[in-house]
Amino acid sequence: MEDKMDGKVKWFNKLKEYGFISGTDGKDYFVHSKDLVEGTQLEEGNDVIFEPTEGDKGLKATKVAIKKA
């Protein structure tokens, strides 16, 4: 299992159900609505925690949740 990583939502299109997260490693991760923890809704600028993985088309964020303050 991958380690969890902190990040910030760069942008997320609710209609298309995908966007990108900037990880603390300086890389961008693709995120799809199916990879959000149940009940999570993303908006630009949200601080999140996620599991970074390697997808078919590059880096991908899974098990994405809003980071608790």
Reduced to 3 states (helix: H, G, I; strand: E, B; else coil), residue 4 is: coil
pTM score, whole prediction? 0.91
pLDDT in tens, 11-20: 999 999 999 9
Angstrom distance (rounded) from CA 3 to CA 26? 16
Reduced to 3 states (helix: H, G, I; strand: E, B; else coil), residue 68 is: coil
Give the domains, in start order, of the chain with CATH numbers: 5-66 (2.40.50.140)
One-letter identity of residue 62:
T
pLDDT in tens, 5-56: 999 999 999 999 999 999 999 999 999 999 999 999 999 999 999 999 998 8
Residues 6+ apart with CB under 8 A from 67: 6, 46, 47, 48, 49
